[in-house]
């Protein structure tokens, strides 16, 4: 079974400091593949483009930023013979690229876990 969930959102971060306040558009997609009763895969990807409302007083520059990334998760229900448990593993990477390099950031994640359904 395949499920695709696209999303388009307008974001308005109306912060007190207008140099940090920004707005823009984010597009993302979730793809879910249910292989059988045990295996499920989930892929997420997103991209956002944001414009800041005023110049940063330190750099005297009006910032712009792009946010993008992806993650892949795997779920296995009934792992290790445990009836109500699901094993999961996730790997992801996200990036924020600003015109003002000081604000650039990136994050990578690898996680393992177990979920219990009641």
Question: What pLDDT does 59 receive?
Answer: 85
Residue 71 above 90 pLDDT?
yes
Inter-residue contact 13 to 28 (CB < 8 Å) = no
Give the Cα separation of 39 and 41 in Å (integer): 7
Inter-residue contact 77 to 83 (CB < 8 Å) = no
Reduced 3-state DSSP string for the chain: CEEEEEEEEEEEECCCCCCCCEEEEEEEEEEEEECCCCEEEEEEEEEEEEEECCCECCCCECCEEEEEEEEEEEEEECHHHCCCEEEEEEEEEEEEEECCHHHCEEEEEEEEEEEECC
Tens of pLDDT, residues 14-37: 888 888 889 999 999 999 999 998
Residue 108 above 90 pLDDT?
yes
Tens of pLDDT, residues 41-63: 999 999 999 999 888 888 888 89
Question: What pLDDT does 105 receive?
Answer: 97
Question: What pLDDT does 11 receive?
Answer: 94
Give the Cα separation of 117 and 93 in Å (integer): 28
pTM: 0.82
């Amino acid at each position: 079974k395949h499920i695709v969930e696209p999303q388009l959102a307008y974001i308005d971060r109306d912060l007190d400091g207008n140099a940090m306040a920004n707005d823009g558009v984010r597009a993302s997609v979730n793809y879910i593949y249910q292989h059988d009763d045990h295996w499920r895969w989930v892929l997420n990807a997103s991209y956002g483009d944001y414009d800041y409302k005023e110049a940063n007083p330190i750099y005297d520059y009006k910032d712009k930023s792009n946010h993008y990334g992806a993650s892949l998760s795997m779920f296995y229900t009934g792992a290790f013979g445990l009836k109500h448990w699901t094993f999961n593993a996730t790997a992801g990477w996200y990036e924020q690229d600003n015109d003002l390099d000081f604000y650039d950031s990136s994050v990578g994640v690898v996680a393992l876990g177990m979920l219990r359904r009641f």
